[in-house]
Amino acid sequence: MFSGKARAYTNIALIKYWGKENQELIIPMNNSLSLTLDAFYTETTVIFSEELTEDRFYLDNQLQDPKATLNVSRFLDLVRQKADCSLYATVKSQNFVPTAAGLASSASGLAALAGAASAALNLALSPAELSRLARRGSGSACRSIYGGFAEWQKGTSDETSYAVEVPSNGFEDELSMLFVVVNDAQKDISSRDGMQRTVETSAFYDGWLQTVPQDLQKAKQAIAERNFAALGEVTEASALKMHGTTLAANPPFTYWSAESMLAMNLVRQIRTAGIPCYFTMDAGPNVKILVERKNEAMVQAALAEHFAPQQLILAHAGPKIEILSKEDA
């Protein structure tokens, strides 16, 4: 029996990943840049055992159906192949984040699975190798290997596509992200399906791709110069451009709801009133607000006039993936 346990935190992209060049290997069309957060995370234990005749996957103490288990099995196959191991496994995962609601459970979930499975089989991967492995489960997971800011460098192959830390001199500790959870139900169109439909059919997709390199450059410069307004402006612009592509897809779709629009408008109003803050959104209706830590209470109070306290969750920069235990018996 070989077991490993890992904890990985979610990350939210400031410069979005949206579209794949290679579906099977999950090589993206563009680089992306994220902030790992402390409020949401996944803890996963993987136990490979001679006694099992198939993989079993428990999420939040519930045995998962064959479809969800197959996703996990396919990922474990990659790890088994690397370790030259043919044992089946029991996977027990706890999401301290709503699953599939646009709050990045796939990022923390697949990073934790990669960390736990590779630790169980004694793979001793470097951060870049672990990032490459996590990427095969879910693209955004490759960034959750690191704390603070991470850049997923798209590369051109399985070997060259992985995330790296973005040097920041602790700038992330000055930042907060306020989650406005307008709906934590599972979304209709997963990120995976949404981005594929957009790449294949959206008339705006080329426009998206053309501006990413400049946006990424601006974000990295803003981080290096600790320029909050510049980082916020480019974060908001990247999200709006990404969401713009979905409107021109065929069939068209949007992740926005009326409440998302309300939250975005409030951010603009608070900004006009003199407090710098900026929004971003992912593949779901929830809005995330980037604000300086010194102003977080003011922004939270302004949002609390329109949203219930349990809809507002404050997060700060989170740590890198942690291997919590490993055991050979």
The one of ligand DP6, ligand ADP, none whose footprint includes residue 78, by CB under 5 to 8 A per kind, is none
Residues in the chain: 329
154 in Cβ contact with 31 (< 8 Å): yes
DSSP 203-239: TTHHHHHHHHHHHHHHHHHHHHTT-HHHHHHHHHHHH
Judged by the rule CB under 6 A, the positions of this chain that interact with ligand DP6 are: 13, 16-17, 26, 32, 106, 138-140, 191-192, 282-283
CB of 81 to ligand ADP, least distance (A): 19
The amino acid present at 39, given as its one-letter code, is A
Tokens of 244: 């713009």
Residue among 290, 280, 176 nearest 229 (CA): 290
Q: Which is nearer to ligand ADP, 168 or 191 (CB)?
A: 191
313 in Cβ contact with 263 (< 8 Å): no
CB of 284 to ligand DP6, least distance (A): 9
Binding mask 160-199 for ligand ADP (x = CB under 6 A): ------------------------------xx--------
The one of ligand ADP, ligand DP6, none whose footprint includes residue 71, by CB under 5 to 8 A per kind, is ligand ADP
The one of ligand ADP, ligand DP6, none whose footprint includes residue 286, by CB under 5 to 8 A per kind, is none
Q: Give the long-range contacts of residues 57-60, CB within 8 A, separation 24 or more.
A: 57/91, 57/93, 58/90, 58/91, 58/92, 58/93, 59/93, 59/94, 59/95, 59/99, 60/93, 60/94, 60/95, 60/99
Q: Which is nearer to ligand ADP, 44 or 202 (CB)?
A: 44
Interface residue with ligand ADP, options 6, 46, 87, 113 (CB under 6 A): 113
| DSSP 3-state of 110 | helix
Residue least distant from ligand DP6 (Cβ): 139
The one of ligand ADP, ligand DP6, none whose footprint includes residue 300, by CB under 5 to 8 A per kind, is none
* Cα-based torsion angle of the residue sequence 112, 117, 120, 124 in order, rounded to the nearest 10 degrees: -80
**Distances 321 to 6, 113, 114, 250, 306 between C-alpha atoms, Å:** 7, 11, 10, 38, 35
The one of ligand ADP, ligand DP6, none whose footprint includes residue 32, by CB under 5 to 8 A per kind, is ligand DP6
The one of ligand ADP, ligand DP6, none whose footprint includes residue 13, by CB under 5 to 8 A per kind, is ligand DP6
Residue 100 in contact with ligand ADP, rule: CB under 6 A: yes
Give residues in contact with ligand ADP (CB under 6 A): 42, 44, 59, 68, 71-72, 93, 95, 99-106, 109-110, 113, 190-191, 283-284
